[in-house]
């Protein structure tokens, strides 16, 4: 294909014009944002949250519900991919991030932080005994250090001496549930050290062996329990089975390496979570409902931003192309919009909300905070 000299000049002129316009835009954006610093925002009732993919979790919409789920093994851990965004099929095996606990943990709530750390480490309180006998690390160390009263009580609660020797007394409740160890794990939240309390169960190997044998019986009586207990105790006393070092076993639950391991994932997620906008930058909100071609009714949430909010969204969208955020209200994920272009406006639209109640509650929360 051949161009005439005139048409070639026109094409070159158009390219130069586009390049000049792009350069002018880049210069304008640079001047507007070069001195703008995105201060760290606190969590409020309404938030627009960004989560760095390096955290090991991704934002999805499954069954029209915004969720944060654990990335699959082998997924790319840096940058964004199309699989991280938009409508995704629900994967029941994927671990959900407890968003409300995450947001409350960012505010320094100790109870939420404890639940958050346990959840990310796949420790569930549902696996603990219904009426646990709880021993804090601090009291356990006193028992190990020579406090005779605490030592005596601990040995009764686990039905074994700290040297692994079975007790003469049989306490069925101690055999069945053992104890729950309560210990602290230090977590850095926004530059401040906070303490999560972790709960894990412990039963000596001796009592586990006794209960395993008892549970194999079709009929369990007091005589059955006593006979099994005595038989297993004789094996240990005769040296046929090794005694457990109970102190070492319990301390392993809260050793320094174990605490570091438990803190790793929560620390990574907390550090990777940032509040792009909160209620302070949201001036107003209105709902616009519409019907899609398939007849489904959707709602667009139009949020008015103040100058700081506009610049925060502009700067973040400029530096993170194709980013996705999570809109939360009172800790509940409402939407997971993906912004593919640079945003420079005092109004942002969160589109295709399917739940009219959630959409209206979000608008009401934003408008209420400005009144």
CA-nearest of 142, 150, 261 to 198 is: 261
Residues 285 and 304 sit within 8 Å (Cβ to Cβ) = yes
- Is pLDDT above 70 for 32? no
Bridge partner residues of 58 (DSSP): 69
Indicate whether 252 belongs to any domain.
yes
Average of per-residue pLDDT across 327-352: 89
Q: Which residue has the higher pLDDT, 106 or 370?
A: 106
**238-242 contacts at long range (C-beta below 8 A, 24 or more positions apart):** 242/164
Each residue's pLDDT tens digit, 14-31: 444 444 444 544 554 545
Indicate whether 21 belongs to any domain.
no
Average of per-residue pLDDT across 155-180: 94
Residues 327 and 334 sit within 8 Å (Cβ to Cβ) = yes
Indicate whether 181 belongs to any domain.
yes
- Is pLDDT above 80 for 201? yes
Looking at residue 82, what is its pLDDT? 41
**Strands in the chain per DSSP E:** 46-51, 57-62, 65-70, 87-88, 134-136, 179-189, 192-202, 273-278, 282-291, 297-305, 323-329, 332-335, 338-339, 347-353
Cα 229 to Cα 245: distance, rounded to the nearest angstrom: 19
Indicate whether 264 belongs to any domain.
yes
Average of per-residue pLDDT across 158-166: 96
Task: Using only the alpha carbons of the chain, give its radius of gyration.
Answer: 29
Looking at residue 15, what is its pLDDT? 45
Looking at residue 13, what is its pLDDT? 47
Looking at residue 205, what is its pLDDT? 96
Indicate whether 136 belongs to any domain.
yes
Indicate whether 183 belongs to any domain.
yes
Q: Which residue has the higher pLDDT, 60 or 256?
A: 256
From residue 11, give the alpha-carbon distance in Å to each of 1, 18, 20, 146.
Answer: 14, 11, 14, 89
* Weakest-pLDDT range from 11-15, 228-232, 267-271, 343-347: 11-15
Each residue's pLDDT tens digit, 87-116: 444 455 677 889 999 999 999 899 999 999
Number of domains in the chain: 1
- Is pLDDT above 80 for 74? no
Residues 305 and 321 sit within 8 Å (Cβ to Cβ) = no
Cα 314 to Cα 260: distance, rounded to the nearest angstrom: 38
Looking at residue 12, what is its pLDDT? 46
Mean pLDDT for the chain overall: 85
- Is pLDDT above 60 for 1? no
Indicate whether 37 belongs to any domain.
no
Cα 69 to Cα 50: distance, rounded to the nearest angstrom: 14
Indicate whether 199 belongs to any domain.
yes
Kindly indicate the confidence band of residue 79, based on its pLDDT and cuts at 50, 70 and 90: very low
The helix/strand/coil state of 157 is helix
- Is pLDDT above 90 for 159? yes
CA-nearest of 204, 210, 202 to 182 is: 202
Residues 43 and 312 sit within 8 Å (Cβ to Cβ) = no
Q: Does the predicted model carry a pTM greater than 0.85?
A: no
Range of the domain at 209: 122-270
Q: Look up residue 246 and give its two tokens.
A: 């109970």
Average of per-residue pLDDT across 206-214: 94
Looking at residue 34, what is its pLDDT? 65
Looking at residue 62, what is its pLDDT? 74
- Is pLDDT above 50 for 78? no
Please report which helix (H) or strand (E) contains residue 20, including its range: helix 5-33
Phi, psi of 200 (to 5 degrees): -135, 150
Q: What share of the chain in percent tops pLDDT 70?
A: 84
């Amino acid at each position: 294909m051949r161009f005439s000299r005139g048409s070639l000049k026109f094409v070159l002129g158009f390219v130069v014009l586009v390049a000049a316009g792009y350069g002018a835009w880049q210069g304008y954006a640079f001047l507007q944002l070069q001195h703008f610093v995105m201060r760290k925002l606190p969590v409020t009732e309404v938030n627009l949250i960004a989560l760095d993919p390096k955290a090991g979790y991704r934002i999805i919409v499954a069954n029209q519900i915004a969720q944060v789920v654990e990335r699959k093994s082998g997924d790319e851990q840096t940058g964004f991919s199309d699989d991280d965004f938009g409508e995704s099929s629900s994967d029941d095996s994927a671990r959900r991030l407890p968003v409300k606990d995450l947001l409350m943990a960012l505010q320094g709530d100790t109870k939420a932080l404890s639940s958050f750390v346990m959840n990310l480490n796949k420790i569930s309180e549902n696996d603990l005994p219904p009426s646990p006998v709880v021993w804090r690390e601090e009291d356990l160390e006193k028992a190990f250090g020579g406090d005779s009263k605490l030592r005596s009580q601990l040995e009764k609660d686990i039905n074994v001496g700290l040297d692994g020797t079975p007790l003469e007394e049989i306490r069925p409740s101690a055999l069945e549930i053992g104890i729950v160890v309560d210990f602290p794990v230090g977590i850095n939240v926004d530059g401040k050290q906070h303490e999560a309390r972790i709960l894990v169960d412990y039963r000596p190997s001796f009592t586990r062996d006794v209960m395993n044998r008892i549970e194999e019986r079709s009929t369990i009586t007091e005589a059955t329990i006593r006979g099994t207990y005595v038989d297993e105790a004789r094996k240990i006393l005769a040296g046929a089975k090794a005694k457990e070092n109970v102190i070492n076993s319990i301390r392993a639950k809260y050793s320094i390496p174990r605490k570091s391991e438990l803190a790793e994932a929560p620390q990574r997620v907390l550090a990777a979570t940032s509040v792009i906008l909160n209620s302070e930058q949201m001036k107003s909100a209105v709902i616009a409902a519409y019907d899609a071609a398939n007849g489904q009714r959707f709602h667009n949430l139009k949020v008015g931003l103040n100058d700081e909010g506009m610049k925060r969204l502009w700067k973040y969208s400029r530096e993170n192309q194709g980013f996705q955020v999570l809109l939360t209200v009172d800790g509940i994920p409402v939407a997971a919009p993906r912004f593919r272009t640079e945003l420079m406006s005092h109004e942002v639209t969160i589109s295709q909300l399917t739940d009219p109640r959630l959409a209206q509650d979000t608008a009401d929360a934003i408008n209420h905070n400005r009144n």
